[in-house]
């Protein structure tokens, strides 16, 4: 187990290195720079500032510098917002994104799992049809459309919830739903097909032949088996929710890290792009690792082999 | 006579896209206290459906449309799900065909074994564990304490089937139904499991129904044999009567298709043809298409079951014709 974790850690570092390298060169391949703004800076001043951030050096030197700084976990200073460290930016904005993301994952699980179970238990009946319509909508309609529609009907027309912002729990509902809708539908589908398949297994008949009640058969014996594919999907789910926040934070004017990330790209704020990319990548690698560990805990047939 | 199970005129149908399947047609039989009965027949003859009808675990498209099922003096044909839950696992234990898929892979053997014990007995977890260990010992699983916390994938096929048997017997059922318990096992393990069944039959006074398509298996363990074909009982009787004085051509055909050690270079005689299609209402004898002694009447009218001796009888028109050779 210890060896396995060590090996995974090493591989994660390798992945991070590749991600950093690719993002670094792609970022610099983008036309324009931090200082191509509406107002042209006097050449002398621009030279000065570039020297301050090391942008005057050849690209390979900048690359090595970035690598060494990142290795020291020093993400540097923002080039666009003078005086703000990238670490501070992450510290300030990530908690907002993280709470939105956590809320969405909770909604995904609370909505998707029961929906899938109900539909599997009533296969072919109206409950199944209704939930499959919801699921199809969820999978096909993009999150930002859901967001816009929800804003229009629920906030503007019915005035039930605030249109944007993230101040009170009331503000959290619409972005949470908009962000989770797709994944909720996806999980419902996974659970449904898993349940339908599992309920036909021999061990379910064995469980019933033991005289166990339907509830025990479904929630103990069937659900644990049906949930396995869902766990495998949790890694990509975390990734999807994270990238989803980029759009949803924009739509709802939420001061999260995702929105900041997007604007840093259009501003060519190289240090912020680099810092946030590394942060997100590390976060995702950690999630995937956690999912693998959960898998081992739930399914005894899977062993961590060295 | 003290019968633990009595089934009368049982009819079960299945609704499928191809039409209605009459899986069971007028099945009647009884199982005495402590008696071991083998139900023999080829695939699709209705052996398993009979058992699933009794414990009400038919798949959703299956339905009992007629008949009486009396278990332990009580009519359970119309018993509700709750009532059945108290009977299943408690009064009737079941062992299924494939031990590789019959155990839930995500729970330990101990968990799955104690689950049934705790459901039907008011005892503590520790007591249930003690009982589980006892049961594993009874079915010959070595170091049961250790095995209890292992998962099904850590058991071999034979060991899993032993665990299944332990599970089925854990609440001391009055009736044990074993649905082809050895079909999925290789031959040496098969012999071991049958040996175990025989041993248990003598140790605990449980009635046993052994479903199989292997006549050789039942001969050793069972007192009586019921032969099924095409959803009907074609013959039943004591083991000796079935083996040495079969009345129905199908039973004779089955016996001829068993290989014997002293057979020399003779070829085995399989029964020609295919089992009948049970879609739609059946006319005549289900075996008529494959019967070497078929007569005109066999095509038109179904033969009634007729006793030829005490507890021995068959459903065949031959029994109604006077000039029968043999006897």
Q: What DSSP string runs through A63-100?
A: HHHHHHHHHTT---B-SSSTT-BHHHHHHHHHHHHHHH
How many whole angstroms separate alpha carbon B219 and alpha carbon B204? 20
Residue-level pLDDT at A304: 64
B98 has pLDDT over 90: no
The answer to whether residue A193 is domain-embedded is: yes
How many whole angstroms separate alpha carbon B170 and alpha carbon B139? 11
- Closest B-chain CA to A200: B59
The answer to whether residue A51 is domain-embedded is: no
The answer to whether residue A179 is domain-embedded is: yes
For range B244-253, the mean pLDDT: 91
For residue B153, which residues of chain A lie inside 8 Å, CB to CB?
A: 300-301
pLDDT digits (tens, 9 = 90+) for A117-157: 999 998 888 999 999 999 999 889 988 898 889 888 888 88
For residue A223, which residues of chain B lie inside 8 Å, CB to CB?
A: none
Residue-level pLDDT at B183: 82
Q: What is the mean pLDDT of chain A?
A: 87
Question: Cα distance from A204 to chain B (closest Cα, Å)?
Answer: 8
Question: Cα distance from B128 to chain A (closest Cα, Å)?
Answer: 15
Q: How many CA atoms lie within 13 A of B93 on its CB side?
A: 23
Judge: A203–B101 Cβ closer than 8 Å, yes or no.
yes
Q: Which of A279, A286, A278, A235 is nearest to A5 (CA)?
A: A286
How many whole angstroms separate alpha carbon A133 and alpha carbon B14? 30
Question: Cα distance from A304 to chain B (closest Cα, Å)?
Answer: 16
Judge: A203–B102 Cβ closer than 8 Å, yes or no.
yes
For range B99-112, the mean pLDDT: 93
For range B84-99, the mean pLDDT: 91
Judge: A210–B115 Cβ closer than 8 Å, yes or no.
yes
Lowest mean pLDDT among A7-11, A258-262, B123-127, B277-281: B277-281
The answer to whether residue A63 is domain-embedded is: no
The answer to whether residue A288 is domain-embedded is: no
Judge: A214–B81 Cβ closer than 8 Å, yes or no.
yes
Lowest mean pLDDT among A10-24, B35-49, B264-278: B264-278
- B249's CB contacts (< 8 A; 6+ apart) are B287, B291, B292, B293, B316, B318
For range A239-258, the mean pLDDT: 83
For residue A207, which residues of chain B lie inside 8 Å, CB to CB?
A: 104, 115
Edge-to-edge strand ranges of the sheet holding B306-309: B92-95, B175-179, B207-212, B36-40, B224-229, B232-238, B312-314, B306-309
The answer to whether residue A290 is domain-embedded is: no
Q: What Å distances lie between residue A181 and A128, A138, A139, A234, CA to CA?
A: 18, 6, 8, 15
Helix (H, G, I), strand (E, B) or coil at A181: helix
pLDDT digits (tens, 9 = 90+) for B298-322: 888 888 888 888 889 999 888 887 5
Residue-level pLDDT at B134: 92
Residue-level pLDDT at A32: 77
Residue of A191 and A262 predicted with greater confidence:
A191
The answer to whether residue A269 is domain-embedded is: no
Contact assessment for residue B210 and residue B128, using Cβ atoms and an 8 Å cutoff: no
Q: What's the pTM? A: 0.80
Q: How many residues does chain A have?
A: 306
For residue B57, which residues of chain A lie inside 8 Å, CB to CB?
A: 205, 208-209
The domain spanning residue A139 has which CATH number? 1.10.3720.10
Residue-level pLDDT at B327: 40
Tally of domains within chain A: 1
- Interface TM-score (ipTM) > 0.90: no
Residue-level pLDDT at B326: 44
Q: What Å distances lie between residue B163 and A72, A301, B140, B145, B160, CA to CA?
A: 57, 18, 9, 13, 5
Q: What is the mean pLDDT of chain B?
A: 88
Chain A to chain B Cβ contacts (< 8 Å):
76
Residue-level pLDDT at B281: 58
Burial class for A78, CB neighbours closer than 10 Å (0-12, 13-18, 19+): buried
CA dihedral for B223, B198, B41, B35, sign (positive or negative): positive
How many whole angstroms separate alpha carbon A213 and alpha carbon A261? 52
Question: Cα distance from A273 to chain B (closest Cα, Å)?
Answer: 44
For residue B55, which residues of chain A lie inside 8 Å, CB to CB?
A: 209
pLDDT digits (tens, 9 = 90+) for B16-34: 888 888 889 889 999 998 8
Element (H, E) at A124: none
For the record, the structure tokens of B157 come out as 């096929």
Question: Cα distance from A234 to chain B (closest Cα, Å)?
Answer: 19
Lowest mean pLDDT among A27-41, B147-161, B227-241, B249-263: A27-41
Judge: A211–B94 Cβ closer than 8 Å, yes or no.
no
**What's the domain range around A145?**
92-255
For residue A298, which residues of chain B lie inside 8 Å, CB to CB?
A: 106
B94 has pLDDT over 90: yes
A306 has pLDDT over 60: no
**B91, B92, B98, B101: CA torsion to nearest 10:** -50
Contact assessment for residue B315 and residue B286, using Cβ atoms and an 8 Å cutoff: no
B177 conformational bin, left if phi > 0, alpha if psi -120 to 50, beta if neither? beta
How many whole angstroms separate alpha carbon B250 and alpha carbon B227? 9
How many whole angstroms separate alpha carbon B236 and alpha carbon B37? 10
Judge: B89–A211 Cβ closer than 8 Å, yes or no.
yes
pLDDT digits (tens, 9 = 90+) for A78-121: 887 777 888 888 888 888 888 898 899 999 999 999 999 999 99
Integer-rounded Cα radius of gyration of chain B: 21
For residue A216, which residues of chain B lie inside 8 Å, CB to CB?
A: 115
The answer to whether residue A295 is domain-embedded is: no
């Amino acid at each position: 187990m210890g060896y396995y974790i060590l090996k995974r850690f090493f591989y994660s570092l390798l992945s991070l290195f590749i991600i950093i390298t690719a993002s670094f060169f792609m970022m610099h391949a983008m036309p324009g720079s931090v200082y191509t703004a509406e107002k042209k800076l006097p050449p002398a001043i621009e030279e000065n500032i570039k020297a301050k951030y090391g942008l005057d050096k050849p690209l390979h030197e900048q690359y090595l510098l970035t690598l060494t700084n990142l290795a020291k976990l020093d993400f540097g200073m923002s080039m666009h917002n003078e005086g703000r460290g990238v670490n501070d930016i992450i510290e300030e904005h990530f908690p907002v994104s993280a709470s939105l993301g956590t809320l969405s994952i909770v909604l995904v699980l609370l909505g998707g799992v029961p929906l899938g179970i109900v539909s599997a238990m009533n296969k072919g009946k109206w409950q199944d049809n209704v939930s499959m319509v919801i699921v199809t909508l969820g999978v096909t309609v993009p999150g930002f459309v859901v967001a816009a529609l929800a804003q229009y009907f629920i906030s503007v027309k019915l005035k039930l919830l605030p249109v944007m912002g993230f101040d009170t729990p009331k503000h959290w509902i619409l972005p949470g739903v908009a962000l989770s809708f797709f994944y909720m539908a996806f999980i419902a589908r996974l659970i449904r097909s898993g349940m339908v398949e599992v309920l036909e297994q021999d061990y379910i008949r064995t469980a019933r032949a033991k005289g166990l009640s339907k509830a025990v058969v479904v929630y103990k014996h069937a659900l644990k088996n049906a949930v396995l594919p869902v766990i495998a999907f949790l890694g990509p789910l975390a990734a999807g929710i994270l990238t989803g926040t980029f759009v949803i934070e924009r739509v709802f004017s939420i001061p999260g890290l995702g929105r900041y990330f997007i604007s840093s790209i259009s501003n060519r704020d190289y240090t912020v792009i680099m810092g946030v990319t590394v942060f997100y990548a590390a976060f995702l690698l950690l999630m995937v690792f956690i999912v693998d560990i959960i898998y081992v805990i739930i399914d005894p047939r899977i062993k961590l082999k060295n | 006579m003290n019968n633990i199970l009595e089934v009368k005129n049982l009819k079960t149908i299945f609704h499928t896209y191809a039409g209605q399947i009459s899986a069971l047609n007028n099945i009647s039989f009884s199982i005495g206290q402590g008696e071991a009965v083998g139900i023999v027949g080829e695939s699709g003859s209705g052996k398993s459906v009979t058992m699933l009808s009794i414990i009400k675990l038919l798949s959703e498209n299956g339905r009992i449309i007629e008949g009486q099922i009396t278990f332990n003096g009580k009519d359970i044909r119309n018993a509700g799900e709750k009532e059945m839950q108290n009977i299943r696992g408690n009064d009737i234990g079941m062992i299924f065909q494939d031990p590789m898929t019959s155990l839930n892979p995500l729970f330990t053997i101990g968990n799955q074994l104690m689950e049934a014990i705790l459901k039907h007995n008011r005892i503590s977890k520790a007591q249930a564990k003690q009982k589980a260990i006892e049961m594993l010992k009874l079915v010959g699983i070595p170091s049961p304490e250790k095995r209890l916390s292992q998962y099904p994938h850590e058991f071999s096929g034979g060991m899993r089937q032993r665990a299944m048997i332990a599970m089925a017997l854990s609440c001391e059922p009055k009736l044990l139904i074993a649905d082809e318990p050895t079909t999925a096992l290789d031959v040496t393990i098969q012999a071991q499991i049958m040996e175990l069944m025989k041993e248990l039959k003598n140790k605990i006074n449980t009635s046993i129904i052994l479903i199989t398509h292997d006549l050789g298996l039942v001969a050793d363990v069972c007192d009586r044999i019921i032969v099924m074909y095409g959803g009907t009982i074609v013959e039943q009787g004591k083991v000796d009567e079935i083996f040495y004085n079969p009345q129905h051509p199908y039973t004779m055909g089955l016996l001829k298709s068993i290989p014997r050690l002293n057979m020399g270079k003779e070829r085995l005689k399989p029964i020609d043809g295919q089992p009948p299609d049970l879609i739609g209402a059946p006319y005549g004898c289900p075996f008529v298409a494959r019967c070497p002694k078929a007569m005109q009447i066999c095509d038109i009218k179904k033969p009634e079951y007729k006793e030829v001796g005490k507890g021995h009888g068959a459903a065949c028109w031959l029994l109604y014709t006077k000039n029968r050779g043999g006897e």
